[in-house]
């Protein structure tokens, strides 16, 4: 039976969207086509029993994911009116919360803590020659369980689950089948890059399998920032707890340090799941801590990069950067990229360009100059010492960052000079995310045999 009350409430909401779309540059023909599809989706949802507001918001999301034109006309408006995270647009999703979710989370956290201890039952030790095994497999002990938690919560499709499972299986094979030289460069590179690939696989489960949607990818970026903040807070609190526990037991004549140290890593694995659950329970990814911290630190990092570039020029040191300095430069560029992403996630898509947009442009330009300096020095080291696993990995990372920074600078310049809106800036970063995962996968799969597993 038709839900007449809900149907009558749709028109005012659709009128509001139409006014917004036309006011922000939408062509009348495109708006009319998208409006017809939006109304059809919303009416069908009303007939299924949803309220006008629920039907309208869900229809906005579905239409936004259908094609580029619809995405441009509806996504920003949907984000302004959608405060719940992805996956919460049905009654079924909203009932999988509360105590049930807590126990599912706790089960996954305990399983992650136990998983890291299982190899020790077969004679593996964290210290000594087995350290490389634990380093390569660290993400494999916990991220499949984090993905399991999101699969339960988001209910992605079968194809998405199979794809994610295949990624974890492939990661397990490539992390353990190769005859790595203990402590060699390719083993270290695998330990660094494999978590990047697997974290993106977890993202597919987080967005309910809808990875092609730029809006869903941005939600996962926001989640990642909030997860980092929560995990850091848990780590700080855990460090205080460990120090106090060791001190208290020592005061009564008991040496608890060996036992506590033996379980620290296991607890750290479980904290990965707990931190994700804390983000989910807050259900406010758009206004969370990570974007706020990005706003605070973006000006500070911009000033630091300006000072760094000035120091390099004044000391004529741009062509003689040591290996350790190159590593720090790359780490700095990764942090700058994270600040740029979370600054974008915190910005009101409909706001006019402001001072923070100019500061982000300065940050991108300075990071671009640092990247060029790093590439010049990497090229010099390659010509002098030849290709190695580390130098090739650094070259690839800096080239990938160069492409991103060049195009980001162009788009950010267009934004602050009012030549374009904010949407292309955000869309570019979301489209570029898989490039990092692809490069990380190449390092994990191709570099060990290419460089003799050393």
Q: Which residues in the chain come in under a pLDDT of 50?
A: 1-3, 5, 83-97, 284-286, 318
- pLDDT recorded at residue 320: 56
Give just the sign of the alpha carbon dihedral 160, 161, 165, 171. Answer: positive
- pLDDT recorded at residue 5: 47
Question: Are the CB atoms for 422 and 381 separated by under 8 Å?
Answer: no
The span from the CA of 232 to the CA of 392, in Å, is 31
- pLDDT recorded at residue 366: 93
Task: Classify residue 374 as exposed, middle or buried by CB count within 10 Å of its CB (0-12, 13-18, 19+).
Answer: buried
The span from the CA of 205 to the CA of 164, in Å, is 8
- pLDDT recorded at residue 215: 75
- pLDDT recorded at residue 79: 62
């Amino acid at each position: 039976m038709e839900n007449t009350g809900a149907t009558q409430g749709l028109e005012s909401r659709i009128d509001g969207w139409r006014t917004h779309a036309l006011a922000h540059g939408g062509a009348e023909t495109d708006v009319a086509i998208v409006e017809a599809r939006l109304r059809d989706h919303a009416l069908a949802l009303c007939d299924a029993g949803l309220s006008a507001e629920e039907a309208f918001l869900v229809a906005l999301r579905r239409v936004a994911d259908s094609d580029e034109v619809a995405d441009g006309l509806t996504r920003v408006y949907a984000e302004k009116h959608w405060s719940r995270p992805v996956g919460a647009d049905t009654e079924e999703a909203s009932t999988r919360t509360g105590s049930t979710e807590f126990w599912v989370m706790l089960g996954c956290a305990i399983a992650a803590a136990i998983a890291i201890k299982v190899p020790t039952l077969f004679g593996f030790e964290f210290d000594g020659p087995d350290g490389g095994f634990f380093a390569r497999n660290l993400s494999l002990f916990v991220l499949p369980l984090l993905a399991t938690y999101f699969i339960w919560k988001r209910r992605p499709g079968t194809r998405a689950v199979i794809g994610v499972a295949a990624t974890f299986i492939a990661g397990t094979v490539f992390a353990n089948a190769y005859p790595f030289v203990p402590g060699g460069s390719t083993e270290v590179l695998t330990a660094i890059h494999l978590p990047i690939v697997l974290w993106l696989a977890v993202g597919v489960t987080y967005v309910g399998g809808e990875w092609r949607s730029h809006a869903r990818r941005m939600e996962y970026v926001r989640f990642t920032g909030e997860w980092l903040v929560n995990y850091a807070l848990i780590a700080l609190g855990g460090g205080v707890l460990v120090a106090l526990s060791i001190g208290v037991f020592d005061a009564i004549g008991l040496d608890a340090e060996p036992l506590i140290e033996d379980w620290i890593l296991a607890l750290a694995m479980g904290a990965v799941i707990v931190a994700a659950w804390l983000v989910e329970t807050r259900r406010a990814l758009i206004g969370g801590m990570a974007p706020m911290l990005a706003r605070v630190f973006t000006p500070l990092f911009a000033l630091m990069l300006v000072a760094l570039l000035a120091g390099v020029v004044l000391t004529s040191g741009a062509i003689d950067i040591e290996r350790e300095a190159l590593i720090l430069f790359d780490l700095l560029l990764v942090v700058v990229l994270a600040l740029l992403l979370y600054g974008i996630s915190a910005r009101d898509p409909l706001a006019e360009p402001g001072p923070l947009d100019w500061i982000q442009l300065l940050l991108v330009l300075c990071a671009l100059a640092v990247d060029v300096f790093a590439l010049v020095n990497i090229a010099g080291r390659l010509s002098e010492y030849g290709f190695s696993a580390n130098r090739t990995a650094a070259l690839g990372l800096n080239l990938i960052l160069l492409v991103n920074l060049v195009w980001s600078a162009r788009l950010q310049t267009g934004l602050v000079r009012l030549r374009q809106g904010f949407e292309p800036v955000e869309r570019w970063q979301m489209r570029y995310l898989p490039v990092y995962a692809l490069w990380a996968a190449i390092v994990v799969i191709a570099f060990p045999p290419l460089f003799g597993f050393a």
